[in-house]
Structure 1
């Protein structure tokens, strides 16, 4: 089996045998995240009510982030530590060479894109996001099941190759060649509204590429050639390796990174702390308006 590394469609996923794939449901509602084991968030409740057969559940807060690190200035969704993420993969029973497919409820596949990127950070290339997410699966009349899925744990030890894929505060400010792309909606980028973070606006010099522009009207990704043309227009003379993606907390930025990889524009990186991490230090400059400052 040829491993998929960016997107996979419903029919391709349905054709895979259960022992060929690890399916991960990443549904998560930022407005209803839950507070702990006894108060699970809306995404996990939805998962238990119905999910793709065999899918395990991934919580953006508990599995794909380490919220205890917020005080370190790493944004609202700091990256998990290697040991903790290794434990997550162990709990899911992942084994090397298995195709991983992740999905969520939103047409943008936001948390799923975060998991896709984390797995790449850990050196696992065989991971793809289900194009159109859970709505596409249900809309195609495919089967669903309810309850929790428990797989047999396997020992896993992962290492994040952060130097290749991430950018920290210091290197972001020190690199004059980089092109910073902000994936947030236009009003948040401009600083006209800010519903989550304490300060509105954007990092001086950043360009705005809302992640929603990667999608067609039906919630699926645009064709690779269309995305290639659109991103090239944004990049100008910059190479894909010059691009650093950001958003509010390092989640939706992964959507733009996924779109570029799908379009064949490889090698861009993520500023994981993103806007929430940037404004954690009041001495950092803030720009507002439609033009990069």
Structure 2
């Protein structure tokens, strides 16, 4: 059975209607930065029927050398092998979800997007919306028929620290998705040094949401176009603390019809890996 042409951000009712289709794979991306195994425990307790679990540290990131941040981008060969064990092929419609705001699900969306996988959506409102609507859930692990997935990431849209410096020198926009107080350097609950990359602009990823759901596409488009100030979407590079929640901005822009932005994979935790790099504090 073929699914309808689902959008980047998918309503729970639309997924519920398509559950069980042979071309649909649901992936549970629930996670906690404070407790790396909390998401897997939650998945084992209950999940959307058929959902596989993606572990933030093992599946959506990798252990990398110093300077690549807290959640280094995975190697294409390792990630595509994981897709195969989940039963994902190039023709699969993938739906990612997390607890609610899409911050972790957007990471899987971004990984697939950078592989050129067009048929991938994030569940609007995530597990919270699904359960509030009383939609089906189960605790049994799904029976998966493994497949083979081949592909490479679009390296031109995955920037390291040197690439970010060059991007800023060309007049590009660097958009930081962290909370404003972290951007300003007033607090830093995770990383060793507070502040932001000089020249970056702050827009917390939570600004893409309203009531736990994504804001209307037209509204988001207007807000991102104002930030771009006449520049094309590819002039924007998103960052955050470790390259995870920054993916939320890429997702929101695609939802708004503005695809093509890039990701600073190491983000703030990668930037401060070199003590020689400059650091800014305050609002600008």
Q: Could you say what secondary structure the match of 2:238 adopts?
A: strand
Q: Which of 253, 260, 264 in structure 2 is aligned with 1:267?
A: 260
Q: Which of 92, 95, 100 in structure 1 is aligned with 2:94?
A: 100
Hey, what does 1:171 align to over in structure 2?
163
Q: Deviations over 1:202-257 (max 9, x none)?
A: 0000000000000012x000000111111122222322110000000000000011
1:34-53 counterparts in 2 under 5 A? 41-53=37-49
Provide the aligned C-alpha RMSD in A: 1.2
1:55-134 counterparts in 2 under 5 A? 55-67=51-63, 69=64, 71-105=65-99, 107-134=100-127
**Is it true that 1:14 corresponds to 2:16 in the alignment?**
yes
Q: Is the 8 A contact 1:100 1:126 kept in 2?
A: yes
Q: Deviations over 1:67-92 (max 9, x none)?
A: 2x0x2411100011111101110110
Number of aligned residues: 279
Give, in angstroms, the shift of residue 2 of structure 1: 4.1
Hey, what does 2:32 align to over in structure 1?
29
In structure 2, distance between residues paired with 1:205 and 1:125: 32
Q: Is the 8 A contact 1:27 1:44 kept in 2?
A: yes
Q: Could you say what secondary structure the match of 2:90 adopts?
A: coil
Using the TM superposition, name which of 240-249 and 142-151 deviates more.
Answer: 142-151
Give, in angstroms, the shift of residue 5 of structure 1: 4.9
**Distance verdict in 2 for CA 1:3–1:95, change over 3 Å:** farther
Q: Is the 8 A contact 1:3 1:99 kept in 2?
A: no
Q: Which of 187, 190, 194 in structure 2 is aligned with 1:196?
A: 190
> TM-score by structure 2 length?
0.95
**Distance verdict in 2 for CA 1:141–1:20, change over 3 Å:** same
**Is it true that 1:138 corresponds to 2:131 in the alignment?**
yes
Can you give the 5+ residue segments of structure 1 that lack an aligned partner in the other structure? 34-40
Q: Is the 8 A contact 1:27 1:103 kept in 2?
A: yes
> TM-score by structure 1 length?
0.92
**Is it true that 1:254 corresponds to 2:247 in the alignment?**
yes
In structure 1, distance between residues paired with 2:101 and 2:257: 19
Q: Could you say what secondary structure the match of 1:100 adopts?
A: strand
**Is it true that 1:54 corresponds to 2:54 in the alignment?**
no
Q: Is the 8 A contact 1:108 1:255 kept in 2?
A: no
Hey, what does 1:37 align to over in structure 2?
none
Q: Is the 8 A contact 1:92 1:150 kept in 2?
A: no
In structure 1, distance between residues paired with 2:28 and 2:19: 18
**Distance verdict in 2 for CA 1:147–1:17, change over 3 Å:** closer
In structure 2, distance between residues paired with 1:143 and 1:29: 24
Hey, what does 1:4 align to over in structure 2?
6
Task: List, as ranges, runs of 4+ consecutive aligned residues in structure 1 with deviation greater than 6 Å.
Answer: none
